[in-house]
Structures are given as C-alpha cells and as structure tokens.
Amino acid sequence: MGSIYGKLFQISTFGESHGAAVGVVVQGCPAGISFDLAFIQSELDRRKPGQSRITTQRKEADSIEVLSGVFEGKTTGTPIAMLVWNGDQRSKDYSHISDQFRPSHADYTYFAKYGLRDYRGGGRSSARETVARVAAGALAKMVLSQIGVQITAYVSQVGTLKLSTPVEQLDLNITETNAVRCPDPAMADQMFHYIDEIRKQGDSVGGVVSAYITGVPVGLGEPVFDKLHAELGKAMLSINAVKGFEYGSGFDGVEKKGSEHNDVIVKEADGTVRTLTNHSGGIQGGISNGEPIYFRVGFKPVATIMQDQDSINEQGDKITVSGKGRHDPCVVPRAVPIVEAMAAIVILDFYLRNRVIQMPS
C-alpha cells in the first residue's frame, strides 16, 4: 500500500531508478476531461535531469506514453496508465556500494526492513519515482483548471539565501525564466552561483520550495483526521529529501499574540465572505476558507556528495564510502513541479470527495 495515494483521485506508482521504466496508474479521473499530452510532457520537462549545470547530468528524455484511459482526446473515466522508459542508467556507478550503506540514504533502512535492496541509484527510494507523481499531478491540474484552481510553486530559499518578499508582491509568472526557479531575478542569480560553488566543492545544500494556490473553493477538507493541511503535509513529506512542512504563518505564528494573528472575517458588498488577513493560510479547522493556500516545504541537502564519508557495510565493518555518479547539488529547482503535482493531487482528491458529499440523494 505504500505506493498508493488518494481516495477518490487515486494514484499508484511503480518503477525503480535503474529499472526499465517508471509509471503511474490513475484511478478516479472524471470522464470527458480534455487530455493535453503536450501539457503533461511540459510538466515532466520541468522535472527532468540535465537542465543546467546545477542539476544532475543524467540525460533522460522522460517522454510520456499513455497506455489506457484516453480516447479521442478525452478521459474515459477508466484507469489512466502512463509510462516513462528509463534510458540513461549507469548502474556501474553504484557497484562499489553494493554492500555499503551511504550516510543519510535509505540503504540501511531498506536493507533492515526487506533483507535486500536495489543499490542502483537507490532503487525505489530514488527521486526518479517522482516522474510518476508529476505525470499524475499534471492530469490533476487539467481537471482543476476547469474550476479555476491555480497552483504555483517556486524556490524561496537555498541554504542561507532567503527570499523575504511576500508572495503577493512577487511576479510568479517569471519563476520559469531562470534555472533556480526563483521569481526574483537578483536572488535567483545569487542562488545559482552559490549552488554552482557548492557543486564544485563536491558538496550539496538544501532549500525551501514555497507554494501558492488560488481559486480553491470553500469547504475542502475534513474536520478531524483528514484536515486539508494535514493531507497537504503528508503529501509533501512523502517527497524525497523533504524534512519540513509549514502552512500559513507556520512557526512564525508562535511569536504573535492572538489579537495580531486572528484573521478578521468580513462580508463584501457582493456577498463574498473573506478575511482581511490570511495568517491561516487559506485553511481553518482543517477546511479551506476560500483564501489563497500557501505553504513552505523544506528539503535537506542531497545525501550523495562527491566526498569520502565514514560508514559501515552489510557485515557491520567500518568502511569509507566514496561518492560517484550524477547527482543534484541542490534538489529544490527540480522539486518545484513535484510540489505542485502533489498539491494538485491532494486538492483534486478533496474536491471530488466534497462533490460526492454534496450530490443530492
């Protein structure tokens, strides 16, 4: 069950980093949705490796193939299967760690749980698996666009370089104009050169991807265990290398008094109910309130570095692990479409749940 996510809009992913292919089966997509293959490909292109010198140089076309669930350009309401073939694996780059546990990787935990592991690029624990998520998320975006939901993510921090401009003052339309995917050109330039310097040192650095979602209708989410923000947090924390999630005011909110933090509710002349501020991040009591939803996702430094590190092997002997292969010095530029994809999957799943609840008997 660990490879299945969602209740009504449900995805099941499969494949390994150095296997033949990675893919996804999507169930619950409504019938009659215009299926834009070019859009799905464009989303995968945002995630794929080899985009610049600050990303892994693995070369993958990531060309999407649709196997089922689409007929004459429309979704049929049946399971949609999508597949991407792997093409540029270098399994020999990992032969030296066939019995070694790399620091901060899933090597030891997978071996302890299953008694074996696919050491080639991390196997199932590799971020290569997120190809499937982005494909499914692009499909979810197609559906959500028809109800006016817009999801945009961007890099807001790399190491100690932090974008302080409020999201409402940023031009998110320029996020894709630079390799870092930061909507502030000056900060993007600083981040790029910093990541590049870290790469030259054979090291890695973490960062933050922020997301901003508009057009979400009021009422999505459940009041207790399936709170909307809890499910968004679960989805984000399921992404490789994610170590933190906060929405709305997040941890900064603890510094405020209730009189400063409360979002005053007003009713506008046209009858629209809104809040004067949005410290709640568009979610109150676990349910969307119609205001923009925003959150931050913290990514750790990539675990594989081009430096020698102490560790142990499967026999428990102390060894030195040497970094080889092709890896991102900082994952956040390529993580932007992954964050958007998982957010789209969550929002659509809750939208469909809400639609079912509200249907007349």
For residue 140, say whether it is annotated as part of any ligand binding site.
no
Counts for the chain of helices (H) and strands (E), in that order: 7, 18
Q: Is 164 exposed, middle or buried (0-12, 13-18, 19+ CB in 10 A)?
A: exposed
Torsion (CA) 109, 114, 120, 122 in degrees, nearest 10: -40
For residue 103, say whether it is annotated as part of any ligand binding site.
no
For residue 334, say whether it is annotated as part of any ligand binding site.
no
- Between strands 64-66 and 4-5, the pairing is unpaired
Q: 194: Cβ–Cβ under 8 A, 6 or more apart, which residues? A: 158, 159, 161, 205
For residue 126, say whether it is annotated as part of any ligand binding site.
yes
For residue 241, say whether it is annotated as part of any ligand binding site.
yes
Contact indicator for 27, 76 with CB cutoff of 8 Å:
no
Contact indicator for 86, 60 with CB cutoff of 8 Å:
yes
For residue 211, say whether it is annotated as part of any ligand binding site.
no
For residue 117, say whether it is annotated as part of any ligand binding site.
no
Whole-angstrom Cα distance, residue 222 to residue 225?
Answer: 7
For residue 131, say whether it is annotated as part of any ligand binding site.
no
For residue 301, say whether it is annotated as part of any ligand binding site.
yes
Q: Is 309 exposed, middle or buried (0-12, 13-18, 19+ CB in 10 A)?
A: middle
Q: Is 275 helix (H, G, I), strand (E, B) or coil?
A: strand
For residue 304, say whether it is annotated as part of any ligand binding site.
yes
Q: 327: Cβ–Cβ under 8 A, 6 or more apart, which residues? A: 56, 204, 302, 304, 305
Q: Is 153 helix (H, G, I), strand (E, B) or coil?
A: strand
Contact indicator for 282, 293 with CB cutoff of 8 Å:
yes
Count Cβ atoms below 10 Å from residue 53 Cβ, excluding itself. Answer: 13
Contact indicator for 239, 137 with CB cutoff of 8 Å:
no
Contact indicator for 124, 118 with CB cutoff of 8 Å:
yes
Residue 142 host element (H or E)? helix 130-145
Residue 319 host element (H or E)? strand 318-321
Residue set of the binding site for FMN: 124-126, 240-241, 285, 300-304, 326
Residue set of the binding site for NADP(+): 47, 53
Residue set of the binding site: 47, 53, 124-126, 240-241, 285, 300-304, 326
